[in-house]
Structure 1
Amino acid sequence: MANGQGQGYGGAGGYGAAPRQNPYGQAPYGPNPYAQPVPPPQPYPQQHPHPQQQPYPPQPYPPRQPQPVPPQQAHPAARQPYAAAQFGAPPHPGAGRPGGFPGPAPRRNRLAVLLQFLLQWIYAPLWVLALVLLFVVLILADYNGGGPSSDGWLKVNRGFIPPRRLRAELTGRPEDWERYATPVLARRIAAAEAAYAAGDGEVQADLGRVVTAGLALRLYRGLGADGVVRLAERYGWHGVASGTDAGHVRLARHFPAPAGLDVPAPQDPPAAPGTPWGPQPVRFAPLLPFVFLLQIVYVPVYGLLTCWVNRPEPDYWDRWGARWTVGPRAFRAEFTGSPAAWDRHIRRILKRDTDRIRAATRTPDGGPVSRIHLKRATYRGAGAHQALRLAAEQGWSLDPAYTPDPANSLRLHRLDRP
């Protein structure tokens, strides 16, 4: 039985037949631009529709054909930063180390080290004897000071290998060099810090001071400058660029300016005798002539002895040597004990130091900041407070970059130019 379409049940166009995909795409109706596309059964649809037959909305994530990209040849210099960032720059000496300090130096020949160690016990005493004879000849020949500009040939210890360093030289291992260089570095740092406590160091803009120390290459050859800097950081020091001097490693430490100092002002009442800022006990006057004569022999002997003594204070002479000597200018003031004589002596020393600063800088005012150092022998009978009062009359005041030590010395400064 027909169903009005010319087909029966189960026919090609009847009930139960497969639905037509696009009835509007057949003649005589023509294409329908508003028709929604029916998903095709295959998973890869055709991707070339007519512009007027573009489906709305487009299919999500349509597959794209990879487009060939022509290779671009970049300049080697333009690719260098990227290559360095990806793979790192080529290694060079000092690269990758903190501060760019070089690593271990090339090892010396073992045979040469052994020969030097064995022969030094013969040539070192002969070297010292030759130097003694040379000085005697120079003295007898009325030596006028000419000669070589460097005194390196006087340093016998530079060509001497101590037994403690022999192991490090032969093995070349960094741990052996570190074992040898650590106590040497500790002594150098202790000496530099003792020099700072005695007033050494370069004053900075923040009134702090920087002290420096150094080691020669022969003392850390197998450890390297970077290893020495690493050891120095344990003591609070840091490395400093040595510039063109590759035979040494430079170390420095910045000490801040002292704070919270309790010092008297020049206008304060005079300090009591016996106190650090007051007059110090003077020596027995009748003994001063004998002290003055004996020091002619005592001072040279003392100087020779102190050259071989490992003392912790670099200002050892200011602290101890001056206690047993008397200068010709301070003789009258100390012999008479007159306050007026002490005042004249202090003013004379202040004028001498001021003139010396002006002569050194060749300017009338001496420079932006001038600094002088008064020794204990200058104001022994008058006191440090009286010396500070007389110095204030000429514009001098206590230097804030130093910790006051009135019992031994006074450090003064003056702002000569704004």
Structure 2
Amino acid sequence: MTNGQERPGAAGYGGTPQQNPYGPSPYGPHPYGPNPYAQPVPPHQPQPQPYAVQPQPQPQPYPQPGPQPRAVLPGPLPRRNRSVVLLQFVLQWIYAPLWILALVGVFAVLLAAAIFSNYGGEGPSSDGWLRVNRSFVPPRRLRAELTGRPEDWERYVTPVLRRRIAAAEANHAAGGGRLQVDLSREVSVELAVRLYRGLGAQGVARIAERFGWQGAPSGTDAERVRLVRRIPAPAALGAPSPQDPPAAPGTPWGPQPGRFAPLLPVIFLLQIVYVPVYGLLTFWVNRTEPDHWERWGARWTVGPRAFRAEFTGSRAAWDRHVRRILKREATRELGRTADSYGRLVAPDGTFLRRIQLHRATYRGAGAHRALCIAAEQGWTLDPAFVPDPANSLRLCRPDHR
């Protein structure tokens, strides 16, 4: 089942997202060992075929976590009064439309304030009073609320949980998830108690186990249940090496076709209006992808620094632009202290510096060329992420305390 947010190659719920969308790769050891990009291939050795697999032993810089104990989760909660549930169900058809109209009015006022008075304050959160559905009892849940039977609650919760899990795994495929010390990533889902009251957190965890997920402690929040799944790092990175011949134009790793040059000044002027409106419309939206702007918004803009490179199509101009952005991101990352990495620092003091170059940075140069430039400074593809040159390059470099 898909939710319209998965990218090609992302598996649905219950299965690990596809690990190798671009084919196998000649990658060397993980970045904790010697940097294979900084060492040119000796002339007497034959060049490896692009995208061919060379199995490498994978060092373990961190102690590997053992099996996680099953969390002790609370059971079903007391049933709500039937009369209150029926009264809420009847009245919601009156107050819900009024609530929505009021929200539209508030949004119009904030939009006018932002345009005419340079209002810079924070708007209402989408997790707060904007969500009228928090007090809405859908007809599908009414039966479960009235009967209180676990089987009715399970029939209601299962499709809701299925959609949440599919969205979370699509988020992982887009680069989301919490990094772990073993380079895996943990994705999580939370359900409010109103969605599973008669089933209990234990029942929700039991349903989640069918999809490969498990329950986890939700801390001090007794009104939610938290579900997690740890997805291992890719076994092999399907990507060319910097020593490989340049990728062909139009391929995922090669230069992308440039936009019509006379149209770029028009885009540059229109984005003065487009970018603020886009930002305002998405300011309160819960993004389903961690780099939502780079995947959708940035495709229709041209930055002032990239304008010359894209307008001329010059390789030298694109190289200068990539180096400029790489230097900016590296300076920002190297400014972080080792203590800020917390649990991601190995016992011997080794940790990974991580940066990200977006598609708009290397559009005309190609992801492979950007990878070659980054390799000059010791940056390699991050082994915790599946390479996605059509959208961004996630790079890493080992460092020590």
Q: Give the TM-score, by structure 2 length.
A: 0.72
The Cα shift of 1:294 comes to 2.8
Change (3 A) 1:314 1:412: closer
Secondary structure in 2 matching 1:182: helix
Residues 365 and 417, structure 1, Cα contact 8 Å, conserved in 2: no
- Tell me the amino acid that sits aligned with residue 390 of structure 1: I
Residues 242 and 372, structure 2, Cα contact 8 Å, conserved in 1: yes
Counterpart CA distance in 1 for 2:293 and 2:90 is 39
Change (3 A) 1:243 1:313: closer
Alignment partner, residue 17 of structure 2: none
Instruction: Choose which of 46, 69, 74 in structure 2 pairs with 1:102.
Output: 74
Alignment partner, residue 390 of structure 2: 407
The Cα shift of 1:110 comes to 1.0
Counterpart CA distance in 1 for 2:340 and 2:277 is 40
Counterpart CA distance in 1 for 2:285 and 2:104 is 20
1:89-119 CA distances to partner (integer Å, 9 max, x unpaired)?
xxxxxxxx96311111111111111111111
Change (3 A) 1:156 1:394: same
- 139-148 or 166-175: bigger deviation: 139-148
Residues 276 and 406, structure 1, Cα contact 8 Å, conserved in 2: yes
**Bigger radius of gyration among the two:** 1
Residues 249 and 256, structure 2, Cα contact 8 Å, conserved in 1: yes
Secondary structure in 1 matching 2:393: strand
Does 2:358 match 1:375? yes
The Cα shift of 1:341 comes to 1.1
RMSD: 3.3
Gaps of 5+ in 1: 1-96
Counterpart CA distance in 2 for 1:309 and 1:147 is 11
Secondary structure in 1 matching 2:172: helix
Change (3 A) 1:417 1:314: closer
Alignment partner, residue 42 of structure 1: none
Does 2:180 match 1:180? no
Residues 288 and 326, structure 1, Cα contact 8 Å, conserved in 2: yes
Change (3 A) 1:199 1:170: same
Number of aligned positions between the proteins: 322
Change (3 A) 1:365 1:238: closer
Instruction: Choose which of 76, 79, 98 in structure 2 pairs with 1:126.
Output: 98
Secondary structure in 2 matching 1:214: strand
Does 2:372 match 1:389? yes
Instruction: Choose which of 153, 163, 176 in structure 1 pairs with 2:129.
Output: 153
Secondary structure in 1 matching 2:226: strand
The Cα shift of 1:224 comes to 0.5
Residues 212 and 250, structure 1, Cα contact 8 Å, conserved in 2: yes
- Tell me the amino acid that sits aligned with residue 215 of structure 2: G
- Tell me the amino acid that sits aligned with residue 102 of structure 2: A
Secondary structure in 1 matching 2:267: helix
Alignment partner, residue 202 of structure 1: 178
The Cα shift of 1:372 comes to 1.5
Residues 76 and 199, structure 2, Cα contact 8 Å, conserved in 1: yes
- Tell me the amino acid that sits aligned with residue 109 of structure 1: N
Residues 358 and 365, structure 1, Cα contact 8 Å, conserved in 2: no
Does 2:193 match 1:217? yes
Counterpart CA distance in 2 for 1:208 and 1:301 is 37
Residues 369 and 414, structure 1, Cα contact 8 Å, conserved in 2: yes
Alignment partner, residue 398 of structure 1: 381
- Tell me the amino acid that sits aligned with residue 275 of structure 1: T
Change (3 A) 1:314 1:414: closer
Counterpart CA distance in 2 for 1:249 and 1:231 is 12
The Cα shift of 1:297 comes to 4.3
The Cα shift of 1:163 comes to 1.1
1:114-159 CA distances to partner (integer Å, 9 max, x unpaired)?
1111111121222223333334555548755379999622221111
Counterpart CA distance in 2 for 1:181 and 1:385 is 45
Residues 365 and 416, structure 1, Cα contact 8 Å, conserved in 2: no
Residues 192 and 224, structure 2, Cα contact 8 Å, conserved in 1: yes
Alignment partner, residue 53 of structure 2: none
Residues 213 and 252, structure 1, Cα contact 8 Å, conserved in 2: yes
Alignment partner, residue 53 of structure 1: none
Residues 255 and 366, structure 2, Cα contact 8 Å, conserved in 1: yes
Counterpart CA distance in 2 for 1:146 and 1:272 is 46
Instruction: Choose which of 269, 273, 276 in structure 1 pairs with 2:252.
Output: 276
1:368-415 CA distances to partner (integer Å, 9 max, x unpaired)?
322112111110111111101111222211001111111221110111
Gaps of 5+ in 2: 1-68, 346-350
Counterpart CA distance in 1 for 2:267 and 2:217 is 49
Counterpart CA distance in 1 for 2:360 and 2:306 is 7
Residues 358 and 364, structure 1, Cα contact 8 Å, conserved in 2: no
Counterpart CA distance in 1 for 2:195 and 2:86 is 17
Counterpart CA distance in 1 for 2:265 and 2:122 is 38
Which gives a bigger RCO, structure 1 or 2 (Cα 8 Å, sep 6+)? Answer: 2
Alignment partner, residue 59 of structure 2: none
1:271-325 CA distances to partner (integer Å, 9 max, x unpaired)?
2222222211111111111222233444566678889999986656534443332
- Tell me the amino acid that sits aligned with residue 114 of structure 1: L
Counterpart CA distance in 1 for 2:79 and 2:152 is 13
